[in-house]
Structure 1
Amino acid sequence: MLNRQGWLCLAGLVLLVSPASLLAQRSLADDALPTFTTIDSIEARVQGCVTCHGQRGQGTNNGYYPRIAGKPAGYLYNQLLAFKNGTRKYPPMNYLVAYLPEPYLREIAEHFAKQHPPFAIRDITPAEPAVLTRGRALVLHGDADKGIPACVDCHGERLTGMEPGIPGLAGLRPAYIVAQLTRWQVGDRHAIEPDCMKRIAIRLSDEDVSAVAAWLSRQPAPKNLAPESSNLIRMPFACGSQRT
């Protein structure tokens, strides 16, 4: 249950967002998705989240607000904790979760992990064939000469993530992918040590980052949206995110 501090936190976030920006961020799919029917429900209590991420976490028209639906609960919980303690910085998120208790953050994570709404319309940016070829190679095969493993080695063959703590890449907008990889490169984003994403991101050139984002943005939604089991896959690096 959300306590008084939690409701005040949500109310404050709503006051920070103008009606015009809400309309701009709103997902095209929200009209077809159910909202909540009672105030005493998790659907009602996550309305502060759906403003940016869509009613069921499917993402919005703004490329910087990612799809969170169907991602492993462990990953979502880790991110909420990171926003709460300030190790991941984005002021609206830091403010939203600052006073929420950890059990409630886990409830939010588990709620969105169970959602499997349709994917938002793909945001395809222009790219040269050579760029897409490089992006495909990095995602599916990596680059042994640079010590870069394939994205699918950690994020799963369907790019839907890996239990318990690695997110899916399917359905993410290119702007968001570029922004997050860049933040890892410059040390603005961190994961639980050993930080395997930091180890990989610093080996990517700016061209590599753009290529990966461009190729991923062109991939259709996978038929099976479930994250893969970590018990079935040996990862190329030790990853602290899997210690949830």
Structure 2
Amino acid sequence: MNRLGKFLVVLHTAAGFFVLAAQADAAGPVKLDINRGQAIATQVCAACHGADGNSAAGAYPKLAGQHPEYLVKQLKDYKAQPGGKPPLRNNPVMTGMAAALSDQDMVNVSAYFASQAAKPGYARHKETLALGQKIYRGGLADKGVPACASCHGPTGLGIPSQYPRLSGQWADYTVAQLVAFQQGPGARNNSEPMHATALRLSDKEIKAVADYIAGLH
């Protein structure tokens, strides 16, 4: 993405960042610092997620182009919750990483990753593409599974501050998250709608829709 493109992305999302920052800092909104975000990404996040948010393997999600508000929320969910409650997302590595970040750091690094261009992904299993497409675009009415597209959009771009971008995400990572949503508390407990939806999917259906998502663009 060229400099103008990055500027437009940051400009478009800046208002959302200031709202999040204001919620975290009662004294008022803090300033967005993309350069600081890039430094954090390079020094802390790059080993797993890539310096530009395009991870090299499915064990780690692609963060490039993800909605910044969503990234901030996920980082907060990796932290211990008020009242001594455990994190809403259970990942010892990410819990340690998030604990070291201030609210300002989270806003900055999320802004940086959001401004990066996401590399496309690819579906790899032709035999399950039809099933994956059916689940993503139309859902499974007989099992009460809504269409993924109804929240994440027809091309997987999601809706800023509400639903994450899925387009091109590694299939292995999507499978892992759907399984975590199935397990709920102790694994991933930060979306009741996704918990309810994932519980209705079989292992085959999860793998099929995850593979289909990987090829969305």
Q: Do the aligned residues in 2 keep the contact of 1:127 with 1:214 (CA within 8 Å)?
A: no
1:69 — aligned with what?
A: 64
Q: Following TM superposition, by how much is the alpha carbon of 1:95 offset from its aligned partner in structure 2, in angstroms?
A: 0.9
Q: Following TM superposition, by how much is the alpha carbon of 1:181 offset from its aligned partner in structure 2, in angstroms?
A: 0.3
Q: How does 1:9-158 map to 2 (within 5 A)?
A: 41-47=36-42, 48-60=44-56, 62-85=57-80, 86-117=87-118, 119=119, 122=121, 124-128=123-127, 131-158=128-155
**Among candidates 160, 163, 167, match of residue 164 of structure 2:** 167
Q: Following TM superposition, by how much is the alpha carbon of 1:66 offset from its aligned partner in structure 2, in angstroms?
A: 0.9
2:26 — aligned with what?
A: none
Q: Following TM superposition, by how much is the alpha carbon of 1:127 offset from its aligned partner in structure 2, in angstroms?
A: 4.8
Corresponding letter in the other structure for 1:52:
C
What 5-or-longer segments of structure 2 have no aligned partner? 1-34, 81-86
Aligned CA RMSD, in angstroms, stands at 1.8
| TM-score, structure 2 normalization | 0.74
Runs ≥4 residues deviating over 3 A: 122-127
Percent of residue pairs bearing the same amino acid type: 34
Q: Following TM superposition, by how much is the alpha carbon of 1:123 offset from its aligned partner in structure 2, in angstroms?
A: 5.4
Q: Do the aligned residues in 2 keep the contact of 1:154 with 1:166 (CA within 8 Å)?
A: yes
Counting helix residues as a fraction of each chain, which structure ranks higher?
2
What 5-or-longer segments of structure 1 have no aligned partner? 1-39, 223-244
CA–CA distance in structure 2, aligned partners of residues 218 and 115 of structure 1: 19
Q: Structure 1 residues 207, 107: CA separation in 2 closer, same or farther (over 3 Å shift)?
A: same
* Secondary structure, counterpart of 1:84 in structure 2: coil
CA–CA distance in structure 2, aligned partners of residues 135 and 95 of structure 1: 35
Q: Following TM superposition, by how much is the alpha carbon of 1:136 offset from its aligned partner in structure 2, in angstroms?
A: 0.7
CA–CA distance in structure 1, aligned partners of residues 215 and 66 of structure 2: 20
**Among candidates 181, 188, 193, match of residue 184 of structure 1:** 181
Alpha-carbon deviations, 1:43-69, whole Å to 9, x = none? Answer: 222221121111111221x21111111
| TM-score, structure 1 normalization | 0.66
* Secondary structure, counterpart of 1:112 in structure 2: helix
Corresponding letter in the other structure for 1:102:
D
